[in-house]
């Protein structure tokens, strides 16, 4: 294998766009293994799955937090890792692992979870890998105590240097994780706003190929409102960007039955198609128990692809939804704070214009609360200093109790498992067809 970056491939964003233009939903696993041979096997199986797929290199926890000594020790001692240690493996090892798998028909995205990802971006650039994800807020607040200002500066640097890949006959692609903030119980309007704001951040520092994320929440109708709001805001704010929407299957407490897990995944695929979203990150039947196998990931990919094929797009409800109004107010409130999006994000958290419910990071004010209403919609219970006073009565409805919070956290698991029992035959047949 020659030294230097791997041969340039058609951009990740262009690949997804081409499939979407042909009416297909791209499906993707969250998969990472420390052993290069097993990682290659996982990518090859994803590539061979029935459906339009892209590959994933999910990095290990040591690499994410910059503890490279621990990652290297694990490799020396043959200790299993929960992801691929791309910085600690030699460039030759990673090139060989990807050779013949990553190609024009199968792009690969690197996923990590790092608030301070400079070491990861340097490696991606050295290898010529042109697709990754994260964000200055979404990869900081949920994962530790790294100061938000440090994460914002690190992501500004990384976006700028990553964007320089464009001069090397590549189109670098960044996916914002903002729409998945804390996974659950963050009202959809703030998930939409965070995704839009992180995409605006990426654009400001040089990126022109971006995906905006949204995580499936607790009410299908509200989720559809949120994704349509996300699309409208991106149309307005990212006119010179090639962007697409990626949906994440539910990231909270997952169903314990196989039928319940497939039911929830099928609903995520339906959400993606009905809202015109171009890509879906799947979950497997093993999510409530352990790290999934390659075979379980492939089964989830194929199930989601079949569910997508059986679904049709729905009409955009327009700008009159509560979710759109709240998301617009949050985005405008933040962007009006400062012309520099990095500074605007920091000021927004300092003043409470952005405030994540149940997030204990020291740079989050922690004065907002959320709850589920009687229909399962995720609503604000306390809005703190969010610029929503004209849209949401502060302190509306019942106060949030510990018992109520636990019930809300388990709502989707219980609902999917209960519905799977009531409709067991269709879910079981669909899953068994893929094995």
The pLDDT of residue 405 is above 90: no
The confidence score (pLDDT) of residue 430 equals 44
The CA distance from 78 to 57, in Å, is: 19
Return the CATH number at 110. 3.20.20.240
Do 339 and 348 contact (CB within 8 A), yes or no? Answer: no
Alpha carbon of 253 to those of 48, 288, 334: distances in Å?
A: 30, 7, 31
Residues for the chain: how many in total? Answer: 435
The CA distance from 192 to 102, in Å, is: 31
Q: Which residues contact 382 (CB under 8 A, 6 or more apart)?
A: 367, 368, 369, 394, 395, 400
Q: How confident is the model at residue 10 (pLDDT cuts 50, 70, 90)?
A: low
Structural domains counted in the chain: 1
pLDDT, tens digit, 9 for 90 and up, residues 158-204: 999 999 988 777 899 999 999 998 877 899 999 999 999 999 999 99
The CA distance from 396 to 417, in Å, is: 30
Q: How confident is the model at residue 9 (pLDDT cuts 50, 70, 90)?
A: low
The CA distance from 126 to 120, in Å, is: 10
Nearest CA-CA partner of 227 in 376, 142, 137, 327? 327
What range does the domain containing 186 cover? 1-435
Predicted TM-score of the model (pTM): 0.91
pLDDT, tens digit, 9 for 90 and up, residues 219-233: 999 999 999 999 999
The pLDDT of residue 4 is above 60: no
Who has greater pLDDT, 415 or 312?
312
The CA distance from 430 to 417, in Å, is: 16
Q: How confident is the model at residue 394 (pLDDT cuts 50, 70, 90)?
A: low
| Mean per-residue pLDDT of the chain | 89
């Amino acid at each position: 294998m020659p030294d230097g970056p791997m041969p340039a491939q058609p951009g990740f964003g262009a690949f997804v766009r081409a499939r979407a233009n042909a009416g297909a939903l791209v499906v993707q696993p969250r998969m990472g293994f420390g052993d290069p041979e097993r990682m290659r096997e996982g990518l090859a199986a994803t590539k061979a799955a029935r459906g339009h797929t892209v590959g994933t290199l999910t990095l290990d926890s040591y690499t994410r937090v910059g503890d490279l000594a621990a990652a290297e020790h694990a490799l020396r001692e043959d200790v299993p890792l929960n992801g691929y240690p791309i910085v600690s493996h030699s460039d030759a090892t990673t090139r060989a692992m990807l050779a013949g798998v990553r190609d024009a028909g199968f792009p690969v995205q690197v996923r990590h979870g790092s608030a301070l990802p400079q070491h990861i971006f340097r490696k991606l650039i050295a290898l010529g890998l042109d697709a990754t994800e994260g964000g200055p807020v979404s990869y900081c607040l949920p994962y530790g105590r790294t100061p938000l200002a440090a994460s914002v500066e690190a992501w500004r640097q990384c976006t700028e240097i990553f964007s320089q890949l464009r001069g090397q006959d590549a189109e670098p692609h960044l996916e914002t994780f903002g729409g998945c903030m804390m996974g659950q119980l963050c009202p959809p309007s703030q998930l939409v706003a965070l995704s839009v704001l992180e995409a605006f951040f990426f654009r400001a520092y040089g990126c022109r190929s971006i995906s905006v994320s949204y995580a499936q929440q607790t009410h299908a109708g509200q989720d559809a409102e949120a994704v349509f709001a996300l699309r409208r805001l991106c149309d307005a704010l990212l006119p010179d960007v090639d962007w697409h929407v990626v949906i994440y299957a539910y990231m909270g407490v997952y169903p314990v039955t196989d039928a319940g897990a497939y039911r929830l995944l099928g609903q995520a695929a339906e959400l993606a198609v009905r809202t015109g979203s171009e890509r879906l990150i799947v979950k497997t039947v093993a999510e409530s128990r352990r790290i999934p196998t390659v075979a379980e990931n492939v089964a989830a990919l194929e199930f989601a692809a079949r569910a997508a094929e059986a679904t049709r797009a729905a009409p955009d409800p327009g700008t009159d939804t509560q979710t759109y109004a709240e998301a617009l107010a949050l985005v405008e409130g933040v962007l009006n704070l400062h012309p520099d999006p990095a500074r605007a994000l920091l000021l927004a958290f300092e003043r409470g214009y952005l405030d994540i419910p149940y997030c204990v990071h020291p740079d989050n004010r922690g004065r907002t609360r959320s709850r589920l209403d009687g229909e399962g919609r995720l609503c604000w219970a306390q809005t703190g200093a969010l610029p929503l006073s004209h849209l949401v009565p502060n302190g509306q409805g019942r106060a949030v109790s510990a018992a109520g919070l636990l019930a809300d956290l388990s709502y989707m698991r219980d609902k999917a498992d209960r519905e799977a029992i009531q409709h067991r035959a269709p879910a079981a047949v669909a899953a068994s067809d893929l094995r």
